[in-house]
Structure 1
Amino acid sequence: METFHFTIDEQQSGQRIDKLLSGLMTDVSRSRVQELIDDEHVMVNGELVKASYKCQASDNIQVVVPEPEPLEVRPETMDLDIIYEDADVLVVNKPRGMVVHPAPGHMSGTLVNGLLAHCNDLSGINGVIRPGIVHRIDKDTSGLLMVAKNDQAHDSLVQQLKAKTTVRKYKAIVHGSFEHNQGTIDAPIGRDENDRKKMAVTDKGREAITHFRVLERFDHFTFVECQLVTGRTHQIRVHMKYIDHPVAGDPKYGPRKTLPINGQALHAEVLGFKHPRSGEKLIFSEPVPDDMETLLHGLRNHIY
């Protein structure tokens, strides 16, 4: 553990503390500084502050940088729902509530822990934390995920994602009624400037395209299919909020008054890609899980 102390002068006054510290601590990135602030390792005049705090002359800043946790990921036996597996790829149906890969402070109970116990031949391109992981779905989103079992397969699947040739269709229950039966949302997504833990539609973002199709209409909700063209972080959740139809149960982008589900009512139902070795087109489909089916039953019977 290292502790740093800084006193702010007139020239530095008025700067955001995260930007200032990333300049003063040359081997620490701004995102790392923001993490230290969020984790309450930064104090100004003995008080905790936010990353947006504007420094004042004579401020005394203390920064405590904890020792990095050892990055050891241990296999954990789990009852994984493996849909398909061969020597190159694996397709798994991830349950809602499961994190895809470990992170410092959360090193167990993830899909990767389970995969390591299931097989020992995952690709190593993404290192010890994310072996085999080509793409992710959020913790509280359920559904299909493709996993690479060697580096050749990993490279192939990543190139297919970049070329936008994979098929990724989701089912979602969203708030409100749609005026149109189908449409396309073409709106760039990037980090929310007001809350770095969120994504948002922003001119500074990267290209993001989602096709949607109405499947069923209810009193105050709609059941939709969303097809990803691109794969930005939280893309469907952000795009649905952007068109005023946030996903039901979404704690980050949706309203508090919503349907009774533990996490967003979003399921990765269809996954298609070209096999990295044979070139065969593979497509997999898994119906929505029981919790979403229960919500649909309730909506059809006007319970919600």
Structure 2
Amino acid sequence: MKVVYEDNHLIIVYKESGEIVQGDKTGDCPLSETVKQYIKEKYHKPGRVFLGVVHRLDRPVSGLVLFARTSKALARLNAMFRDGKVHKTYWALTLNAPRQAEGQLTHWLVRNERQNKSYAYDHEVPGSKKAVLEYRVLTSPAFGVRRADGSYSQGGSLPSPRYTLIEVRLLTGRHHQIRCQLATMGCPIKGDLKYGASRSNPDGSISLLSHKMSFIHPVSHEEISVVSPLPDDPLWQAMKEL
């Protein structure tokens, strides 16, 4: 387990793909229990350790997960997530590039509980929830490498000659939102068989990373901004310089 940030009220850790955030029917040890044990041992805490789960990442996804260490922080962070005051960006590796280098996607998603899958519609349907995200291509064989001014360099070497790296900012938080919306755009995430990828990743992951998290600290009111380590996979490591 990698700790990215911690203080008396919260802790942010890096979740490996394959880990679960909270306990489920599999019986596997969740990340929340690993974090509790870390706190218990580091701070020599007797008895039970309080840890509040504020949000989750799908099992095959890697990246930043935020936990609350106090009940005060938990209540305030829950409100901040509900009000859209925690800003998260994701990185997704896809085989296909979108038609436009950046844009906003709006769909209405219907969750199928039995299949554990969401379906996207371009209009509201019964049982649907509106889903909105913004995206921009960071590097792609189709566009080149994105510069700081928003233009793209053409002709130079690419981090990957085959895959496109898309940065995503969620404006809503729906079940499998990024996975479903990118697939609907024709850009399924590498390794995500459920949403149209042609093959799985060897480790069972999907190439989606919770990359950056920014918010105002719920107690100290300082600005917090953290960036995730990249997975050890060589393709991810090739993206280090972006």
Do the structures match in fold with TM over 0.5? yes
Q: Secondary structure at the match of 1:119?
A: helix
Structure of greater Rg: 1
In the alignment, the residues of structure 2 paired with residue 270 and residue 169 of structure 1 have an alpha-carbon distance, to the nearest angstrom, of: 5
Tell me which residue corresponds to 2:210: 268
State the 1:189 CA deviation.
2.0
Question: Is it true that 1:208 corresponds to 2:131 in the alignment?
Answer: yes
1:267 is aligned with what amino acid?
A: L
Tell me which residue corresponds to 1:175: 95
Structure of higher RCO (CA pairs closer than 8 Å, 6+ residues apart): 2
In the alignment, the residues of structure 1 paired with residue 60 and residue 180 of structure 2 have an alpha-carbon distance, to the nearest angstrom, of: 15
> Which structure 2 segments of 5+ residues have no match?
41-47, 142-160
Q: Deviations over 1:242-289 (max 9, x none)?
A: 111110101321233366553110111101121111111101002421
State the 1:108 CA deviation.
3.4
Tell me which residue corresponds to 1:251: 193
Tell me which residue corresponds to 1:229: 171
Tell me which residue corresponds to 1:294: 235
Question: Is it true that 1:98 corresponds to 2:19 in the alignment?
Answer: yes
- Where in structure 2 are the equivalents of 1:118-157 lying within 5 Å? 118-119=38-39, 131-157=51-77
In the alignment, the residues of structure 2 paired with residue 86 and residue 277 of structure 1 have an alpha-carbon distance, to the nearest angstrom, of: 11
Partners of 1:133 and 1:147 within 8 A in 2: yes
Partners of 2:111 and 2:175 within 8 A in 1: no
In the alignment, the residues of structure 2 paired with residue 159 and residue 143 of structure 1 have an alpha-carbon distance, to the nearest angstrom, of: 22
TM-score (norm: length of structure 2)? 0.78
Q: Secondary structure at the match of 1:146?
A: strand
Q: Secondary structure at the match of 1:188?
A: strand
In the alignment, the residues of structure 2 paired with residue 108 and residue 272 of structure 1 have an alpha-carbon distance, to the nearest angstrom, of: 30
Q: Which runs of 4+ in 1 moved over 4 A?
A: 258-261, 295-298
RMSD of equivalent CA atoms: 2.4
- Where in structure 2 are the equivalents of 1:12-51 lying within 5 Å? none
2:4 is aligned with what amino acid?
A: I
Partners of 1:208 and 1:232 within 8 A in 2: yes
Q: Secondary structure at the match of 1:92?
A: strand
Query: Compared with structure 1, are the counterparts of its residues 109 and 222 closer, same or farther at alpha carbon in structure 2 (3 Å cutoff)?
Result: same
Query: Number of residues paired by the alignment?
Result: 208
> Which structure 1 segments of 5+ residues have no match?
1-79, 121-127, 299-304
Partners of 1:168 and 1:272 within 8 A in 2: yes
TM-score (norm: length of structure 1)? 0.63
